[in-house]
Amino acid sequence: MDKLFAPTLALHIACGLAAAVVGIAPILTRKGSRLHRLSGRAFVVLMGVMLAAAWLMTAIRLNSYFAALSATASITLFSGFRVLARKRPDLDPAQRARPLDWAAALAVVAIGVSVLASLLAGVARGPAGPTIALVYAAFLYGGWDLWRFARPTAPPFSPDLWTYEHLAKMLSAYGASVSAFSGNFLTFLPPPWSQLWPILLFQPMAMIWIAVLVVRRRRAWSPA
């Protein structure tokens, strides 16, 4: 198995670099445009291959940080893409969560619990600060999805909620790819900030972006 590590790492790095470059296009292009959709699909494919390689490397050489990073990036990518088929669960029961969605959310929460237990026991491998941040993210995204799946039309549901979920989760997935790149190549930045700064950048960016969209849509709906 150890012989697989080097070629898997090469594939992981190549797809990660490509995803970090390609992922800029969906952020900058007009939402719903052909270029946005095509570049978004390319990003999902590249991230999917990168994460498959990451999980294989994690299985070969178990590391708490990489397990938490892979879990968080996987759930944000998977759920951020899947929500495009679950836009209106209030109108169409067929658009509600499927067993695969439940399994993914439960798996990421379980991985978060396992990594947290290893941190508390003092046996975790990897940088503690970024690992703790990733465990928090695993609980946040996994827990949010479980709540949404169990109560698909409960507050804070709105007809535009899928847009906000897609934006936040895909930006988080992109941030994970940049975090991995930065931690490995931007060595002039001191740890753990070389791995944390993308998280600290893209999460507030997503929240601000969502707030702007909410304000704009409320103004559009309000009577003149």
Could you report the per-residue pLDDT of 110-120, keeping only the tens digit for each?
999 999 999 99
Entry pTM: 0.89
Share of the chain above pLDDT 70, in %: 98
Could you report the per-residue pLDDT of 77-109, keeping only the tens digit for each?
999 999 999 999 989 999 999 999 999 999 999
Whether pLDDT at 224 is above 60: no
Report how far residue 47's alpha carbon sits from residue 187's, in angstroms, rounded to the nearest whole number.
23
| More confident: 145 or 134 | 145
Could you report the per-residue pLDDT of 124-133, keeping only the tens digit for each?
888 788 888 8
Question: Hey, is 60 helix, strand or coil?
Answer: helix
Could you report the per-residue pLDDT of 165-210, keeping only the tens digit for each?
999 999 999 988 888 778 777 777 777 777 778 877 888 888 888 8
Distances in Å between the alpha carbon of 10 and those of 14, 16, 154, 156, 195?
6, 10, 44, 42, 20
Residue 114: CB partners within 8 Å, gap ≥ 6?
Answer: 67
Rounded to the nearest 5°, which phi and psi values hold at 157? -60, 140
